[in-house]
Structure 1
């Protein structure tokens, strides 16, 4: 059965609002909730960037049923993997087993802030692979000393560990990343509904297979539900025109000003072509279906715009979930 999630967009909402939305999303019937982990919003118009881990800790106590996940954390530059291992273990304890650690190779927008530079994609993937090894080692509860290519760990131990451990999902976008990272992960994470990613993952030796109760393939899609289609298109353009750049561009831009400049010629109609906007729930279902048709098991919805969150959750979420579950495998 396909699972449907709600995205806690730290770039467009403050921390107290995010906790309220998380509770409302659980009440509306979402299966899981994912949180972005940013130091800056993509665009100044979004206006927020609270610390994801503090917010998730509050959400873990405010909710009871929904799964929780970072989508995604970069454990290589802004955070050392030993620190990520500790906070992931703590959050799993607070969530009583509902948390999945989603990891990725990062974006310049968030990682450059600590002054360590921005490596090439090949180096970033090497760093991520080593970081996962460090996190796995620390999650055994043993004393860890590690001397690696990118990270050192000295006499480190995680003292508060959940019995069930912490599953790790890894964001991938191509065959090289899958070959290197899939054998280290429990679940696949991707932002495009590409069947070739799922197929390559399943074909990789040592990788947990997607489906049949094994690995999850977790995707994410932005939508902009709203009672007026034109207003929804304008909101999506204001808040989410950065989405048009694609991952290869978005990963390297360093500031919201850079994203603003890179997207200055993106039109509202361009955004509407890639993000379903307005009150038509069937149009949203059609867009989301691309993910389950590609073999994804879990799909998180991003409702664009803080101004529409409460109304979306109160009016549209339940009927939309009914339609999605009726249509999905």
Structure 2
């Protein structure tokens, strides 16, 4: 049966609100909670970008059952992979084994801030492979010295390690990153319900397939609003029209101004065509359906609008989860 998650969107709520939303999401019955790791929101109307690792530490202490995950961290520029290895191990200890490290090759929006430039996608994927080698090595608890093409590690050891380790989920927009980095990961992450990505994962040699030890974890935005479709569409257009650019555009834009300019001609009706908006829970269920039909084992929902989270979690999440689980069983 498909598992359903809630997204802690660090771009649309401050740290204390995110921790409160995490507790409410667990109460509502979500199976997992995924958290974005950004230095900047995509649009100024979103208005937030707290440090996700501090948030996750607090979330680990206000929740007991729900799984936690970064969706996703980029361990190649803004963070050195040795630092990510320590961050992930610490959160896993705080979460008592409920944490998965989701990683990807990043977005210029967040990574350019350290002044290291923005490599082409093929180079970023090569950097990601090295980063995962370092993280895996450090999670053994051994003393690690590493001299690669992109990174050096000098006599490093993670002193506080969880016994169960930290599983890694790899974000993929195409098959190349799966081929390049899949052997170093445990699970697949994708924001489009693409069966070809699941097949590419399943084609990896000597790896568990999706549903047989590996997971494919998707994510989809929704904009529930009890006032109806028009109010929801207006909010989604204001805060989430950046979504229309697609990964190939979004990964390279460096600033909120760039995202605003790139989405100038995205109309409210364009957003409504791509995001389920309004109070109709059945419409939301149908928007999620392509993920489980493509073979995804988990789907995390993004409720658009920081000031709508409590109402969504208290009023809509429970009935929506019931309908999603019933539909996915069928």
CA-to-aligned-CA distance 1:66-90 (integer Å, 9 cap, x gap): 0000000000100000000001000
Match runs of 1:255-294 below 5 Å: 255-294=255-294
Quick one: distance in 2 between partners of 1:133 and 1:147? Answer: 11
Match runs of 1:45-56 below 5 Å: 45-56=45-56
Q: Does the 8 Å contact 1:184/1:207 carry over to 2?
A: no
Q: Does the 8 Å contact 1:77/1:116 carry over to 2?
A: yes
Match runs of 1:22-171 below 5 Å: 22-171=22-171
Q: Does the 8 Å contact 1:35/1:70 carry over to 2?
A: yes
Q: Report the Cα offset of residue 129 of structure 1.
A: 0.5
Q: Report the Cα offset of residue 200 of structure 1.
A: 1.1
Quick one: distance in 1 between partners of 2:324 and 2:102? Answer: 24
What residue is the counterpart of 2:301 in the other structure? 301
What residue is the counterpart of 2:195 in the other structure? 195
Q: Report the Cα offset of residue 206 of structure 1.
A: 3.3
Q: Report the Cα offset of residue 207 of structure 1.
A: 3.3
With structure 2 as the length reference, what TM-score do the two structures score? 0.99
Greater displacement, 130-139 / 172-181:
172-181
SS of 2:79's equivalent in the other structure is: coil
Greater displacement, 200-209 / 293-302:
200-209
Q: Report the Cα offset of residue 291 of structure 1.
A: 0.3
RMSD: 0.6
What residue is the counterpart of 2:6 in the other structure? 6
Q: Report the Cα offset of residue 208 of structure 1.
A: 2.8
Establish whether residue 224 from structure 1 lines up as the match of residue 223 from structure 2.
Answer: yes
Quick one: distance in 2 between partners of 1:158 and 1:272? Answer: 47
Quick one: distance in 2 between partners of 1:208 and 1:68? Answer: 21
CA-to-aligned-CA distance 1:160-205 (integer Å, 9 cap, x gap): 0000000000001111111111111100000000001001110122
Q: Does the 8 Å contact 1:185/1:207 carry over to 2?
A: no
Quick one: distance in 2 between partners of 1:175 and 1:104? Answer: 13
CA-to-aligned-CA distance 1:84-132 (integer Å, 9 cap, x gap): 0001000000000000000000000000000000000000000000000
Q: Report the Cα offset of residue 319 of structure 1.
A: 0.1
Q: Does the 8 Å contact 1:187/1:208 carry over to 2?
A: no
Quick one: distance in 1 between partners of 2:223 and 2:160? Answer: 40
Q: Report the Cα offset of residue 25 of structure 1.
A: 0.3
Quick one: distance in 1 between partners of 2:117 and 2:30? Answer: 38
* Structure 2: tracts of 5 or more residues without a match: none
Quick one: distance in 1 between partners of 2:153 and 2:182? Answer: 24
Quick one: distance in 1 between partners of 2:295 and 2:181? Answer: 19
Q: Report the Cα offset of residue 272 of structure 1.
A: 0.5
What residue is the counterpart of 2:240 in the other structure? 240
SS of 1:75's equivalent in the other structure is: coil
Quick one: distance in 1 between partners of 2:206 and 2:277? Answer: 40
What residue is the counterpart of 1:183 in the other structure? 183
Give the length in aligned residue pairs.
Answer: 328
Moved over 6 A (4+): none
SS of 1:224's equivalent in the other structure is: strand
Q: Does the 8 Å contact 1:182/1:208 carry over to 2?
A: no
CA-to-aligned-CA distance 1:27-50 (integer Å, 9 cap, x gap): 000000000000000000000000
Quick one: distance in 2 between partners of 1:87 and 1:201? Answer: 27
With structure 1 as the length reference, what TM-score do the two structures score? 0.99
CA-to-aligned-CA distance 1:237-279 (integer Å, 9 cap, x gap): 0000000000000000000000000001000000001100000
Q: Report the Cα offset of residue 236 of structure 1.
A: 0.2
Quick one: distance in 2 between partners of 1:177 and 1:162? Answer: 28
Q: Does the 8 Å contact 1:185/1:208 carry over to 2?
A: no
Quick one: distance in 2 between partners of 1:207 and 1:260? Answer: 41
